[in-house]
Amino acid sequence: MASTVDELDRKILRELMKDSTLSTRALGGILGESSSTLYNRIRRLIDRGVIQSYTVIVDPEMIGMEVTAYCMISVEESAENTIRQIAENVAKIKGVKSVSTLLGSDYEIISLLRTHNVKELGGVVLEQIRLVNGVVDTKVSLVHEQVLKEVEKAEEIIEEEVEESED
């Protein structure tokens, strides 16, 4: 797939990923571009779906979400109940923060869970996820320590795009 951003777009994205509260004026000071040029570029990146949202990233532990776990989910698919539909139903459960379907695994779905404590985690898995129509089995792994966060890695993605386009 061809890249949908040019060098200036990459510079804009790199700076906004560091601080999405930057005004176009402040961004212009960093990048040496006019506010109007940057406003139009950012608007275009939003319209094309490159920038999907501006958000606040909260440390889950600082707001009492002490337990993070991954739940692997094995399912029994049917014509009325596809893997995607099961995954969408799992995604509606409170405490489920991310859901992905898998290939090449003994499990078809993986979900990221965040709860206040282990008892609450048990309730999410045993009383909610396992009761979703089509779920056959679950396997939960508690996260001991998160070494790398996707948000931190996002800036690296922009860097890799730049390096690839220069080759």
Give pLDDT tens digits for 143-157.
999 887 766 555 565
pLDDT score at 35:
95
pLDDT score at 162:
46
- Residue ranges, the chain, pLDDT below 50: 1, 162, 165, 167
Angle at 64 between CA 58 and CA 68, to 5 degrees: 75
Rounded to whole angstroms, the Cα distance separating 21 from 58 reads 15
**Phi, psi (rounded to 5 degrees) for 31:** -95, -10
pLDDT score at 79:
85
Domain with CATH 1.10.10.10 in the chain: 7-56
Rounded to whole angstroms, the Cα distance separating 157 from 136 reads 36
Domain with CATH 3.30.70.920 in the chain: 60-142
Q: Does domain 60-142 have CATH number 3.40.1710.10?
A: no
| C-alpha gyration radius of the chain | 20
pLDDT score at 140:
98
Question: Is 83 in contact with 77 (CB distance < 8 Å)?
Answer: yes
Question: Strand order of the sheet with strand 109-115?
Answer: 96-101, 109-115, 67-75, 135-142
Instruction: Provide the CATH number for the domain formed by 7-56 in this structure.
Output: 1.10.10.10
